[in-house]
């Protein structure tokens, strides 16, 4: 059974290939020769993941899934949220972190969570699977692993930031790992 992952990020595609059952053949956007930009103009992770998955589903008629992730900070009313990748306007992680720390200056409530939503079109039915991790934003960057906001995010019940953990530690607890676990469970039961 073929399943398109509506992503150009070959690292993510390979990660998914490694964990899904081998009877499911994962095709990336490169694999199917799709190189257009899909405008993600929704207001939620659910809407944006659906826009990507639905565009490809309509175009190909095949099984498709897409993911979307954001960091939601309580004291900032959920910002950066769906705008996480371009929060500072440059698309650069160091700039995004700098802006986040500035917005949180002098604010005691540092609670935040990462959430990943996967929208799946499987046998013409739509399904949403998600994963979330709660934590807090520290005041200065710590650690050099990972990407994005990892150097300022400490998961609840841990001392280290995501950027101080190695990849396999992060992958045991992360928002994306939990969403993917739910995707694996879906295929075990369907």
Residues with a catalytic annotation lie at 68
Tell me whether residue 1 or residue 86 sits nearer to ligand IMP (CB atom). 86
Binder among 68, 97, 113, 180 for ligand IMP (CB under 6 A): 68
* Residue 178 CA: distances (Å) to CA of 36, 68, 86, 87, 183: 29, 13, 24, 24, 9
Q: Does 130 bind ligand IMP (CB under 6 A)?
A: no
Does residue 148 interact with ligand IMP by CB under 6 A? yes
The number of residues that bind ligand IMP (CB under 6 A) is 16
Using CA atoms, how far apart are residues 96 and 174, in angstroms rounded to an integer? 20
63 or 69: whose CB is closer to ligand IMP?
Answer: 69
- Give the HSE-up count for residue 163: Cα atoms under 13 Å, Cβ half-sphere: 17
Distance CA 114, CA 151 (A): 13
Residue 113 as a binder of ligand IMP (CB under 6 A): the answer is no
CB 8 within 8 A of CB 29: yes
Closer to ligand IMP by CB, 71 or 73: give it. 71
Distance separating alpha carbons of residues 180 and 113, to the nearest angstrom: 17
The C-alpha atoms of residue 128 and residue 118 are separated, in whole angstroms, by 6
**Residue closer to ligand IMP (CB basis): 115 or 124:** 115
What mask, x for binding ligand IMP by CB under 6 A, covers residues 165 to 184?
---------x-x--------
Which spans of this chain sit near ligand IMP (rule: CB under 6 A)? 68-71, 84-85, 96, 114, 146-150, 162, 174, 176
């Amino acid at each position: 059974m073929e399943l398109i992952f509506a992503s150009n990020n070959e690292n993510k595609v390979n990660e998914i290939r490694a964990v899904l059952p081998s009877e499911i053949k994962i095709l990336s956007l490169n694999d199917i020769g799709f190189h257009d930009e899909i405008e993600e103009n929704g207001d939620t992770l659910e809407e944006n993941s659906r826009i990507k998955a639905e565009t490809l589903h309509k175009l190909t008629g095949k099984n498709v899934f897409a993911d979307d992730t954001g960091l939601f900070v309580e004291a900032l009313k959920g910002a950066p949220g769906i705008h996480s990748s371009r929060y500072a306007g440059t698309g650069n992680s160091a700039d995004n972190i700098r802006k986040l720390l500035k917005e949180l200056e002098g604010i005691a409530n540092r609670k935040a969570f990462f959430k990943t939503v996967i929208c799946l079109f499987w046998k013409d039915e739509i399904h949403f699977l998600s994963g979330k991790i709660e934590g807090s934003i520290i005041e200065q960057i710590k650690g050099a692993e990972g990407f994005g906001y990892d150097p300022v995010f400490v998961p609840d019940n841990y001392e280290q930031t995501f950027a101080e953990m190695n990849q396999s530690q992060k992958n045991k607890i992360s928002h994306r790992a939990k969403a993917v676990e739910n995707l694996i469970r879906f295929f075990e039961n369907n």
